[in-house]
A and B are shown apart, each in its own frame.
Chain A
Amino acid sequence: MSELKICHLYPEVLNLYGDRGNIRCMQKRLEWRGIDAKITRVGLGDRTDLSDFDLFFIGGGQDFEQEVLLEDLKAGKADSIRSAIEDGKTFLCICGGYQMLGHYYETYDGVKCEFLGAVDFYTKGGNVRMIDNYAFRLSEESGGSTVVGFENHSGRTYLGEGVKPLGTILKGYGNNGEDQTEGVRYRNVFGSYSHGPILPKNPEFCDFLLKTSLERKYGCFDLEPLGDAFEKQAHDSVLANVMAGTAGKDD
């Protein structure tokens, strides 16, 4: 039986917006196809060897807890994460977990926080939070499907020269509210501001991640289609409301 080893990084800290829904989604969609999903939670102070995993998930967290996290990264995980990325392992990184991959985060007051620098981009704190349901279209190399989600960030992310975004904004703010880009795609790293969580309502994107990871491990790999009626219904109704500006009524 084929098997995917999934590492949930810092689940005890980075879990702010239903992030574990992404893990559950990947797990179920693998199990429904008879593929073994082995989920390992790797937290602060945990020195588990990261080179053994096929897919990594990093969620979003509270600013308050960021410091503990940066210390732990410095103590060893940073290097392991960088090599896993260069090794072509699949990463799904959301919000804070996404920002963490860049060079740094500069707060609105000008305080600079050094991050992993695994991907060429940086984030600057803004004075307005970009909060709402939103939608974007994945680039062809990330499957080309449409993704709906919820964004909530004051950080504005700017991609380096030649770095490709994950997709293009259809409605909402995305990376910075200026250039219509959303997220990042570098090797097999998929970074996004979309929580919600991102995967259950966007099954095509979930399957694209799983396929990417399985193909790196096993070579050519076909994923059996699933009955996605509930998933499609949820995706389509939110997308329709987002595009029409009718998501989240006032009263």
Chain B
Amino acid sequence: MSNKIKTMLAVGACKASRSALRLLHRGGTTTPGRMAMKFDRNILETVSQGMDIIVVTGTNGKTTTSNMIEHALSGTGRDVLANKSGANLLPGVTAEFTSNATAFGKPKKHFAVIECDEGALKQVVPRIHPKVIVVTNLFRDQLDRYGEVMHTLEEIRKGIKMVPDAVLCLNADDSLTASLALDVPNKVTYFGIDCPIGEQKNVEISDARYCIRCGTEYEYDYHTYAHLGGFRCPKCGYRRIRPSVAVTEIEKVSSSGSVVRMRFGEDGNRNAGGAEDRDGSLENVGPGCRIPSAETEREVTIGLPAVYNIYNGVAAIAAYQAAGFDREEVIASLADVHSSFGRMETFRLGEVPIQMILVKNPAGCNQALSYLAGLGEDYQAVFCLNDRTADGHDISWIWDADFEKVCRGPHLKHAYVLGDRADDMCLRLKYADAEEADIEKVQDNAALIEKLKKSSVPVFILPNYTSMLSLRAALGAITGKQEFWKG
């Protein structure tokens, strides 16, 4: 078969199966991609050719960061393709591009923002040649699928090395993520937060306590959350590099968003290595250091709450300018960025306000729990825990998340629990000091919705991935919210 015919068959198969699946009210996110790849193994390369693409990967914040970039690009009138459904493995990404191509496989859009699974990066990026790759952060996540954090880091590194022309956009505050710069040929730019947030103590569970280069325990000038912050190795000199896009001060945090001060300048010396620092300058030593003359500062409003969305915002700005766009565009659009699918998404069930916060791993879950604990008002909480393949079969991470924060607080009035592993979650809450009488297992989404309708206080739902998908669909149907592929 000629290449042209293969391409046409692949596009046709992809589009036909996607339409068919959507008629059946299924998202159709991966099967169409698999079909396309069967007809033409190189289909993704063909249907993404010549596009300007930004890829976002990392443990937490992929979807929201992508959404922020996409919002800015489409808000300024550009035609953008994005895998909003969160199908971020090779078949899902393939389906998205193929569905947005002509029958001959020519891309219909010029720009793309793609969130990509860490393990799938090495399959996806060599086919789509992104201009920029953002790595948001690295935390323990789905250990049954990836093994350990170091293994995940290695997988990301493999992907990056395959596209040396892509600009890397890294979280300066994460010693794991930032270490990617140490041995890849790519140009690198950094984003981060210059100031301390929350309690300034070493966290009990850290995924990166010891220097990735020499094994010595890091010292911190300040912490933001989990293992993120102003790290430096006292022995080999590996340390946080002063990022070119950074938050310098958090002025206001509320449940509707944050107002922060940011500075924009140049990245510190990437080859900085303490005593080995080539130019011997003190440019890279974190807050309070010499400020390059070209630096500017301004206030930025991020229309989504919680600290991790500040990180997502600063990542989006760094990526946006690294891809050659005007950063003022993304800064302006961050103020009215809407939540993405299940991530801080709000619903109104009758009179009851509901917010859904996707939690998939201890770092993200702790952020969500801190958010609840800091609200200062009464609420009901819903915890949904599944253990399907997309969630990871291993749910032991719930014991690494600090449910104590909310269970011991005065404002959690009642907790509903559901999902394949509801019994495990009930047990976790019991050992986090919730009263057994306040923990109620619910059979399914329909039963839950009936209970929530009667709530006299706001409801916060913390589901993991597949439980979010099903609950989001059930809530969407009853509150009139659209299914993701229509949004």
Residues of A within 8 A of B (CB): 11-13, 15-21, 24-25, 28, 44, 62-65, 67-68, 129, 131-133, 150, 152, 195-197, 200-201, 229-231, 233-234, 237-238, 247-251
Docked Cα-Cα span, A249 to B148, in Å, equals 22
For A229, give the chain B residue with the smallest CB separation.
B436
Please state if B423 and A233 are interface contacts (CB–CB under 8 Å): yes
Q: Which B residues from 135 to 184 make CB contacts under 8 A with A?
A: 140, 143-144, 147-150
Min Cβ gap A227→B in Å is 8
For B398, give the chain A residue with the smallest CB separation.
A18
Known: A18-B400, A20-B204, A131-B144. A247 touches B393 (CB 8 A): yes
A-B contact count (CB 8 A): 109
Contact residue among B396, B423, B436 (Cβ-Cβ distance under 8 Å from A234): B423
Known: A11-B204, A24-B431, A201-B424. A247 touches B399 (CB 8 A): no
Q: Which B residues from 432 to 457 make CB contacts under 8 A with A?
A: 436, 439
Docked Cα-Cα span, A15 to B148, in Å, equals 12
- Contact code string B375-393 (vs A, CB < 8 Å = 1, else 0): 0000000000001111001
Q: Taking chain A's interface residues, is the majority helix, strand, or loop, or is none over half, making it mixed?
A: mixed
Please state if A248 and B148 are interface contacts (CB–CB under 8 Å): no
Please state if A249 and B420 are interface contacts (CB–CB under 8 Å): yes
Binds A, one of B63-71, B126-134, B205-213, B273-281: B205-213
Docked Cα-Cα span, A74 to B436, in Å, equals 45
Docked Cα-Cα span, A34 to B225, in Å, equals 36
Contact residue among B393, B397, B436 (Cβ-Cβ distance under 8 Å from A133): B393
Question: Is B427 an interface residue when CB atoms closer than 8 A count as contact?
Answer: yes
Please state if B399 and A233 are interface contacts (CB–CB under 8 Å): no
Q: Which B residues from 193 to 219 make CB contacts under 8 A with A?
A: 204-206, 209-210, 215, 217
Contact residues in A for B424 (Cβ distance below 8 Å): 201, 234, 238
Known: A68-B210, A248-B388, A249-B388. A20 touches B400 (CB 8 A): yes
Please state if B427 and A150 are interface contacts (CB–CB under 8 Å): no
Besides A64-B150, A230-B423, 4 more A-B contacts (Cβ < 8 Å) are A230-B430, A233-B423, A238-B424, A248-B420
Please state if A200 and B150 are interface contacts (CB–CB under 8 Å): no
Contact residues in B for A44 (Cβ distance below 8 Å): 217
Contact residues in A for B283 (Cβ distance below 8 Å): none
Known: A67-B215, A68-B210. A196 touches B396 (CB 8 A): yes
Question: Is B394 an interface residue when CB atoms closer than 8 A count as contact?
Answer: yes
